[in-house]
């Protein structure tokens, strides 16, 4: 899985989790102390997600790292110790 593919995968999982929590992009941005445009670019898959971003997103969306990476290949999850 390429970095760009991983960004798109995370983007979709963030969008879905935000929708489940009935949050607007603005709500998530406020929770994270980010701008709405940062959340928008992350959800568009055009912003690279850092480890610090992943930790913040998991906390704000009440999910774990495995859920954030749902759909990633098993070998990638194993590499991260998430098997």
**Domain parsing of the chain, residue ranges:** 3-71
Q: What is the pLDDT of residue 49?
A: 93
Q: What is the mean pLDDT of each run of 10 residues along the chain (83 residues)?
A: 93 97 97 97 95 97 96 94 88
Q: Measured between alpha carbons, how far is 27 from 80 in angstroms, rounded to an integer? A: 30
Q: What is the pLDDT of residue 35?
A: 97
pTM beyond 0.95: the answer is no
Under CATH, which number does the domain 3-71 receive?
1.10.260.40
Report CA 32 to chain centroid distance, whole Å. 12
Place of tokens 């999982």: 13
């Amino acid at each position: 899985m390429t970095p760009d593919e991983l960004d798109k995968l995370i983007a979709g999982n963030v969008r879905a989790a935000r929708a489940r929590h009935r949050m607007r992009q603005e709500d998530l941005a406020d929770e994270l102390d980010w701008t709405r445009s940062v959340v928008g670019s992350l959800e568009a898959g055009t912003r690279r997600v850092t480890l610090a971003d992943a930790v913040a997103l998991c906390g704000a969306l009440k999910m774990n790292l495995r859920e954030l990476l749902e759909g990633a290949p098993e070998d990638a999850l194993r590499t991260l110790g998430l098997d």
